[in-house]
Amino acid sequence: MDRQISNVLPGITSQMVDTPRIRTHVLSCGPATGEPVVFIHGNFSSATYFEETMLALPPRYRCLAPDLRGYGLTEDQLIDATRGARDWSDDLDALFVTLGLGKVHLLGWSLGAGPVMQYLLDHPAQVASITFIAPISPYGFGGSKGLDGTPYFADFAGCGGGVVSPLFVQRIKDNDRSADDPNSPRNIINAFYYKSPFRAAREEDFLSSSLLEQTGDQKYPGDMVPSANWPNVAPGNFGPINATSARHFNASGIVDVTPQPPILWVHGADDPVVSDASMFDLATLGKLGFVPGWPGDEVVPPQPMIGQMRAVLDRYAAHGGRYQEVVIKDTAHGPHIEKPAEFLAAFTAFLK
């Protein structure tokens, strides 16, 4: 498919920024002298999903939303998953230096919380505040149990690129815009990002930008290795899903950073993507009978994603940091889109 910029809203600027690491596509608005607020999107999405939020912020802020490596219109470069989220963190640092941003407010949605956590680990003095929207666990997505993120198996079987449906990946390659199959990209977005019957006004633009995700054995979802443990695949070394797997990603060390910026954690009460029983966690699907051979709760219980995040943030607070948790009712995985007024009320109050 042609890689084209989706329609952008009036007031939003789309530009390509050359950095020493990668050519990055960035959406922006607000005064050049404003406090920088940087929005980091999740998997199967892009900077486009933040345009309304950016425009709604007070004019004192300079809002920027880059497409991560592997997504949107940013230069197509491989993600070295053995570095966890560090390729993204290093890309962000190069972008911030190139733009001369200085200290930044960072917001990470879903998978995008991974690069934000890693940036906090790498550059704590450069972070004014952190906001998480439906973030992945500090122990990665899938493959772990307990509030301390204990891996199910030594090879981290049960997470990574091998657990992603190859049929869904093929639909991305085919630029599938259909609505007649529950597993089409359009229907996956509507079924899991939002709580029915909500439909986004910019559904077409969101879908177009999501379909720009780079796919392939070393791209999305990433490679895999065989495993003797259920479900017989373990994470490989490339791609975004391996980069945020329990094998390569562990940001629980944020509890010890100095200085400790304030953290806002927002999530929907009915999120089926990031929860203690995620419908994208193979352990949950195994427990429900959708994946044969599940070894049971003692070996592979569903990952307590919410519990793990709360436990890490409680430790962050115990070490002198400060965080606020906001749960938005009747909302799924995209509260900033689904319930913009409620999200913005919490977010703007926090930024002040």
Q: Per residue of the chain (352 residues), give pLDDT as tens.
A: 456 666 899 999 999 999 999 999 999 999 999 999 999 999 999 999 999 999 999 999 999 999 999 999 999 999 999 999 999 999 999 999 999 999 999 999 999 999 999 999 999 999 999 999 999 999 999 999 999 999 999 999 999 999 999 999 999 999 999 999 999 999 999 999 999 999 999 999 999 999 999 999 899 999 999 999 999 999 999 999 999 999 999 999 999 999 999 999 999 999 999 999 999 999 999 999 999 999 999 999 999 999 999 999 999 999 999 999 999 999 999 999 999 999 999 999 999 9
* CATH code, domain with 115: 3.40.50.1820
Enclosing H/E stretch for 267 = strand 263-268
Q: Looking at residue 162, what DSSP letter applies?
A: G
Amino acid at 239: G
Residue 1 has what pLDDT? 44
Contacts of 69 (CB under 8 A, 6+ apart): 22, 75, 77, 79, 87, 88, 91
Handedness of CA 181, 192, 129, 88 (dihedral sign): negative
* 313 within 8 A of 265, measured Cβ to Cβ: yes
Rounded Cα gap, residues 278 and 337, in angstroms: 20
How many helices and strands (H and E) does the chain possess?
Answer: 11, 14
Comparing CA positions, the residue from 326, 348, 330 lying closest to residue 339 is 330
Q: How many domains does the chain have?
A: 1
Judging by DSSP bridges, how do beta strands 263-268 and 127-133 pair with one another? parallel
* 105 within 8 A of 37, measured Cβ to Cβ: yes
Exposure on the CB side of residue 144, measured as CA atoms within 13 A: 25
3 domain residue, yes or no: no
227 domain residue, yes or no: yes
Residue 4 has what pLDDT? 67
* 158 within 8 A of 303, measured Cβ to Cβ: no
Judging by DSSP bridges, how do beta strands 220-221 and 263-268 pair with one another? unpaired
Enclosing H/E stretch for 221 = strand 220-221
Residue 81 has what pLDDT? 98
* 200 within 8 A of 191, measured Cβ to Cβ: no
- Judged by DSSP in three states, 56 sits in helix
297 domain residue, yes or no: yes
Q: Residues, the chain, total?
A: 352
33 domain residue, yes or no: yes
Exposure on the CB side of residue 331, measured as CA atoms within 13 A: 21
Rounded Cα gap, residues 205 and 341, in angstroms: 21
Rounded Cα gap, residues 332 and 338, in angstroms: 8
Tokens of 7: 């329609």
Q: Helix crossing, 86-99 with 113-122: angle to 10°?
A: 70
304 domain residue, yes or no: yes
22 domain residue, yes or no: yes
- Judged by DSSP in three states, 179 sits in coil
- Judged by DSSP in three states, 225 sits in strand
233 domain residue, yes or no: yes
Comparing CA positions, the residue from 274, 278, 225, 209 lying closest to residue 81 is 225
Torsion-angle region of 206 (φ positive above 0: left; ψ -120 to 50: alpha; else: beta): alpha
Rounded Cα gap, residues 242 and 265, in angstroms: 24
42 domain residue, yes or no: yes
* 65 within 8 A of 54, measured Cβ to Cβ: yes
Domain that holds residue 202: 13-351
